[in-house]
């Protein structure tokens, strides 16, 4: 009996000790400082993420400008035409396609005015010709280009050489065909048509000359004469475009004949808007 009581007290004591140990462990765990979980967002990565570089948006083309694709096409055409005939100096291109032809130049205008530029064979309506005095490598004020007008019975579709210019006497046609480009070997020159007018000719000793004060075929114009020229253009123009050439404008003058008016010429006068190097030509 005595032995049983001793065993009982031993178990009670062990139980108490166990409770004390558990309580002490609990207190220790409660008082132990918590380990903070690192904020993963605040830890910089070993390699910072590079911000994407935005793609450059190409500048929109001006109303008169041709696309790079079109310019490359026209320049390739020029190269191919020059391989056929080295006298090809440029491509004259209305941005609507109203006129689109190579421009030839030699020592006299008459040669290509009555010849096929590809074959050099006689051709009554000929080719489009740059004034023999012009030098496209120089900064001349006026670039003059000539082309025949062909009567309808010989050219029913009205497309040969400068025949389409006859439609420009109508202001509604002019509005749709205001912009002209001249493609050279290394650059494009952009023009805007400012005036379409009739230029009466004066006959002296059987030879026709441009009328004084309306001389569209001068390479340079001094301010006094330019003032007189503007005045006469306004007098003989088919309509008022609302645009007037200035003293220092670079000009492109397109001349053709007028049906049944042998003593006059139709002039399509343009002012230069901009010159731009062709793609890939900037470094040359």
Q: Indicate whether 180 belongs to any domain.
A: yes
Q: Indicate whether 59 belongs to any domain.
A: no
pLDDT reported for residue 155: 87
Between CA 52 and CA 40 the distance in angstroms is: 23
Between CA 178 and CA 167 the distance in angstroms is: 12
Q: Indicate whether 48 belongs to any domain.
A: no
Q: How far is CA 190 from the centre of its chain?
A: 8
pLDDT of 256 > 90? The answer is: yes
Residues 270, 194 contacting (CB under 8 angstroms):
yes
- Helices and strands in the chain, H and E counts: 5, 9
pLDDT reported for residue 66: 97
Write down the H helix ranges in 169-252.
171-176, 223-236
3-state secondary structure 3-36: HHHHHHHHHHHHHHHHHHHHHHHHHHHHHCCCCC
Residues 217, 229 contacting (CB under 8 angstroms):
no
Which range marks the domain in which residue 197 is found? 68-274
Q: Indicate whether 45 belongs to any domain.
A: no
- Of all residues in the chain, the percent with pLDDT exceeding 70 is 78
52-61, 166-175, 243-252: least confident range = 52-61
54 vs 271: which has the higher pLDDT:
271
pLDDT of 139 > 60? The answer is: yes
CATH of the domain at 119: 2.40.260.10
pLDDT reported for residue 2: 46
Q: Indicate whether 21 belongs to any domain.
A: no
Report the number of distinct structural domains present in the chain: 1
Write down the H helix ranges in the chain.
2-31, 68-84, 110-113, 171-176, 223-236
Between CA 227 and CA 247 the distance in angstroms is: 8
Q: Indicate whether 27 belongs to any domain.
A: no
Query: pTM of the entire structure?
Result: 0.79
Q: What is the pLDDT of residues 99-119, one digit of tens each?
A: 999 999 999 999 999 999 999
Q: Indicate whether 192 belongs to any domain.
A: yes
pLDDT of 27 > 50? The answer is: no
For 27, counting Cβ atoms within 10 Å of its Cβ (0-12 exposed, 13-18 middle, 19+ buried), the class is: exposed
Contacts 24+ apart (CB under 8 A), 77-86: 78/102, 78/183, 78/184, 78/185, 84/117, 84/118, 85/117, 85/118, 85/120
**β strands within the chain, DSSP E:** 88-94, 100-104, 128-130, 142-146, 179-183, 187-204, 207-210, 251-258, 261-277
Q: Indicate whether 169 belongs to any domain.
A: yes
Average pLDDT over residues 214-229: 97
């Amino acid at each position: 009996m005595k032995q049983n009581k001793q065993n009982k007290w031993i178990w009670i004591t062990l139980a108490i000790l166990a409770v004390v140990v558990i309580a002490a462990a609990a207190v220790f765990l409660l008082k132990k400082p918590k380990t903070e979980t690192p904020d993963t967002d605040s830890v910089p990565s070993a390699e910072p993420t590079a911000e994407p570089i935005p793609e450059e948006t190409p500048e929109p083309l001006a109303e008169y400008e041709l696309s790079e694709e079109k310019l490359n096409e026209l320049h390739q055409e020029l190269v191919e035409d020059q391989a056929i005939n080295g006298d090809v100096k440029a491509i004259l291109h209305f941005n609507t396609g109203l006129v689109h032809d190579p421009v030839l130049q030699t020592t006299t205008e008459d040669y290509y005015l009555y010849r096929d530029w590809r074959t050099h064979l006689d051709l009554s309506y000929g080719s489009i010709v740059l004034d023999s005095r012009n030098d496209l490598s120089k900064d001349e004020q006026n670039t003059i280009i000539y082309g025949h007008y062909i009567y309808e019975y010989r050219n029913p579709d009205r497309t040969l050489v400068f025949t389409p210019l006859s439609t420009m006497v109508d202001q509604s046609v002019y509005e749709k065909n205001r912009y002209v480009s001249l493609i050279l070997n290394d650059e494009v020159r952009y023009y805007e048509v400012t005036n379409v007018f009739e230029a009466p000719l004066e006959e002296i000793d059987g030879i026709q000359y441009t009328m004084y004060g309306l001389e569209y075929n001068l390479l340079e114009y001094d301010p006094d004469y330019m003032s007189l020229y503007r005045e006469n253009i306004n007098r003989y123009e088919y309509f008022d475009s609302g645009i007037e050439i200035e003293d220092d404008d670079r000009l492109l003058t397109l001349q053709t004949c007028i049906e049944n008016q042998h003593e006059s010429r139709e002039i399509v006068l343009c002012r230069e808007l901009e010159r731009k190097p062709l793609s890939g030509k900037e470094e040359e």
